[in-house]
Structure 1
């Protein structure tokens, strides 16, 4: 796959049973590379108008996914099936302790498409707060559409 890609990130948090939630979606240009059996993505995200961009790094392999944000917010989230990983989510308003347990994980790879889907349980300060879904897809930047 080309180095320059379009990255589509989609996330959903189900906070309460029966409550309809709006997915969070982002489509941005970024960079892709493959090294030591893992796929890597890098992209910039503007979280607040007028602020410096937050740099996002995503590492994907069949066994795990890591999401690292550096900037206005800072976090290093590790998703591994059946294993609870703890992290601190730092924002301008304070820091939260998060626990993440991936309950489902699927990586689909082709010459022009990388797609990773993760279902996970999210804890905040040792208390379960949501069941979540995260999908990350990358295709060459000249591709006209995404296959979801």
Structure 2
């Protein structure tokens, strides 16, 4: 990714996640954290460090927004990559301490209005582990510049 001026801007991220399982009330989580936003010619990269709260301490999470596609990468104590593209399914491997799992991501909605001022990224998707649907997820990430 070539960056215009390769400047990482400090941002505040409000990350709200919802998980839906059939017949069960949605499981909702909300996380406020500091991170960075990097503007590139072909997209925007959001990055933050996971904490004890998420159970993934020592992991860096990155959202790479390029055109109609968002790639979520986690590296550190947890390593995984998920690709979101509206109307498409992508399969990836999810590393766990017990081995690798095949994960299918079917994205139903992907929209954002991110710019150098911040904005909102929203992704709705269903997830299948080893080809068995395990639930529907949605997350919204609100990005605000830190001054």
Q: Deviations over 1:86-117 (max 9, x none)?
A: 11111224332110011111112355222110
When residues 71 and 47 of structure 1 are mapped into structure 2, their CA distance, relative to the original with a 3 A threshold, is farther
2:3 aligned partner: none
Q: 1:13 aligns with which of 6, 12, 19?
A: 19
Unaligned runs of 5+ in 1: 143-148
Separation in 2, partners of 1:37, 1:115: 18
1:42 aligned partner: 47
Kindly indicate whether the alpha-carbon contact (under 8 Å) linking 2:103 and 2:130 is maintained by their aligned counterparts in 1.
yes
Bigger proportion of residues as strand: 2
Task: State the TM-score, normalized to the length of structure 2.
Answer: 0.84
Q: After superposition, where does 1:1-148 map in structure 2 within 5 Å?
A: 3-17=9-23, 19-47=24-52, 53-109=58-114, 112-142=117-147
Pairwise CA distance, 1:24: 1.9
Q: Deviations over 1:29-57 (max 9, x none)?
A: 111111123111111112489x8610111
Task: State the TM-score, normalized to the length of structure 1.
Answer: 0.83
Unaligned runs of 5+ in 2: 1-6
Q: Deviations over 1:58-113 (max 9, x none)?
A: 11244121110001111010001111111111122433211001111111235522
Separation in 2, partners of 1:109, 1:41: 10
Separation in 2, partners of 1:2, 1:48: 25
Pairwise CA distance, 1:141: 2.1
